[in-house]
Amino acid sequence: MSYFQPIPELGEGPLVAEGTNFKVVTETVSRVTERKAPRGWWICFLIALSLVGVFTMTIGYLFWKGIGIWGNNSPCYWGWDITNFVWWVGIGHAGTLISAVLFIFRQRWRTAINRFAEAMTIFAVICALIFPGIHVGRPWVAYYMFPLPNQMGVWPNFKSPLLWDLFAVGTYFTVSLMFWLVGLIPDFATLRDRSTGRIRQMVYGVLALGWRGSNRHWKNYERAYLILAGLSTPLVLSVHSVVSFDFATSVEPGWHTTIFPPYFVAGAVFSGFAMVMTLLLIARTVFKMNHLVQMRHLELMNKIMLVTGSLVGYAYAMEFFTAWYSGSEYEMYVFINRATGPYAWAYWTMISCNVICPQLFWSRKLRRSIPVMFVVSILINIGMWFERFVIIATSLHRDYIPSSWGYFSPTVFDICTYLGTFGIFFTLFLLFIRWAPMIAIAEVKGILPEADPHYDPHGSHGAHGSREGSHGYALEPQGAE
């Protein structure tokens, strides 16, 4: 990690606010975990926990009665279950992108948000992974999906995209978790060192894996982090590509589309960033971290959303073109039906939220407005849920044989299951903010001027750690990598 030197000629500014030093960073982040939880946290936690209760009861009933408690039917054999799965996987996308890809591309501004985004990834993927397990008709034999040696000599069907999916998401989860935990090691050590209670010391001590901050530790740590980032980067592309194969390799009109892998990846990044934005804006306001998470960061994220949103919009348009160009009446019908059929409301919700909304970010004023970006980020989350719903429901409900056409309506249990995953997500998230450093302390420190101790020929700049004036930056070009 090394100090970020902004190049004023490029319009770059410092990544942290004036006056932020090591102590401020450590204090700001650590104190959240050390002080008594504020009342607001408890209220949120209890709400989230109640939703977990709702989820548990729903799933209990689901296992007791069967998938029939949901609205799934023939022809819509999949409904909210897979919609939620794909949506959560998509949300889980931003974390790795921010952490790994931006890390490799030396986008130092990521330090403000990466921990947050990674945590969100892990929790979102946990929520996603619940669905392949519970959406099957006989969950008690769901383990048949794993290649376990058995006396019947039956193996999973390696041709099935659903199996690829399981492996892809499983791998993604494992790597993301490792990446996150490795990144947390120095920060856990910070917390351990600040701990006064015995239990805290023990727990953080274990989590810090004996980190002492030695040069060798740093060297190994940075190497491991880089390797994991390298491993994660292809996963960013692979996970959602594989998820899209569930649809793309089928013969269903509306699913059988080669555009799906890039379209899904763009959509995933899009929705992931939107979710990070929603959560970050809340945390930033609640925990007063404006100096760490700056407007500049938010603006950069909004730009990414603008790009990915437009990519998604392009994909929507291209689907129509492909359908028309294919000459297949089934394919054409699905798309006409999407825009004008019984699910037109869902389609146009999707278009408004995903394509039209982000266009606001062309305006610098709007993309720097906290209320605007908050509303937009929520709308994008909604829009991306609808995107998955539109793909699944509108394609299935009217496919080849008109006699089998139907309509999908969710039941109260569909809603409870979906809300329940929010409960799981927020419970985990609230626990995370309460007990783990929500901003990567070590990494933020790495971009401070103090991270770049240097000889000052004028000797006029006082104590180590102060940041005054900008001319110092230009004098030490070797400080930047």
**What does the binding site for other proteins look like in residue numbers (CB under 8 A)?**
64-69, 71-78, 135-139, 141-142, 144-145, 154-157, 159-163, 166, 246, 249-252, 329-330, 333, 396, 398-407
Only one residue has tokens 């409900």, namely 397
* Min CB(141)–other proteins separation in Å: 5
Distance CA 225, CA 231 (A): 10
Cis amide leading into 75 (omega within 30): yes
- Is 125 in contact with 303 (CB distance < 8 Å)? no
- Is 335 in contact with 319 (CB distance < 8 Å)? yes
* Min CB(132)–other proteins separation in Å: 8
- Is 169 in contact with 82 (CB distance < 8 Å)? no
Closest C-alpha among 67, 50, 64, 77 to residue 413? 67
Task: Choose between 320 and 405: whose C-beta lies nearer to other proteins.
Answer: 405
* Min CB(156)–other proteins separation in Å: 6
Task: Choose between 243 and 438: whose C-beta lies nearer to other proteins.
Answer: 243
* Min CB(409)–other proteins separation in Å: 8
- The pair of three-digit structure tokens given for residue 14, joined into one six-digit string: 């410092």
Distance CA 253, CA 396 (A): 8
Task: Choose between 105 and 146: whose C-beta lies nearer to other proteins.
Answer: 146
Closest C-alpha among 20, 207, 175, 178 to residue 111? 20
Number of residues that this document lists for the chain: 481
Distance CA 266, CA 139 (A): 32
* Min CB(268)–other proteins separation in Å: 21
Task: Choose between 64 and 455: whose C-beta lies nearer to other proteins.
Answer: 64
- Cβ count near 305 (within 10 Å): 27
Task: Choose between 59 and 67: whose C-beta lies nearer to other proteins.
Answer: 67
* Min CB(165)–other proteins separation in Å: 8
Only one residue has tokens 């509108």, namely 394
Task: Choose between 76 and 112: whose C-beta lies nearer to other proteins.
Answer: 76
Only one residue has tokens 């783990």, namely 436
- Is 259 in contact with 318 (CB distance < 8 Å)? yes
Residue 353 Cα distances to 305, 356, 383, 438, angstroms: 12, 6, 5, 29
- Cβ count near 327 (within 10 Å): 8
Task: Choose between 167 and 348: whose C-beta lies nearer to other proteins.
Answer: 167
Task: Choose between 162 and 307: whose C-beta lies nearer to other proteins.
Answer: 162
- The percent helix, strand, coil of the chain (3-state, each to 5) is 70, 0, 30
Task: Choose between 126 and 142: whose C-beta lies nearer to other proteins.
Answer: 142
* Min CB(234)–other proteins separation in Å: 23
CA 319, 320, 325 angle in degrees (round to 5)? 95
* Min CB(331)–other proteins separation in Å: 11
* Min CB(134)–other proteins separation in Å: 11
- Is 236 in contact with 89 (CB distance < 8 Å)? no
Task: Choose between 341 and 472: whose C-beta lies nearer to other proteins.
Answer: 341
Q: Largest Cα–Cα distance in the chain?
A: 85
* Min CB(339)–other proteins separation in Å: 16
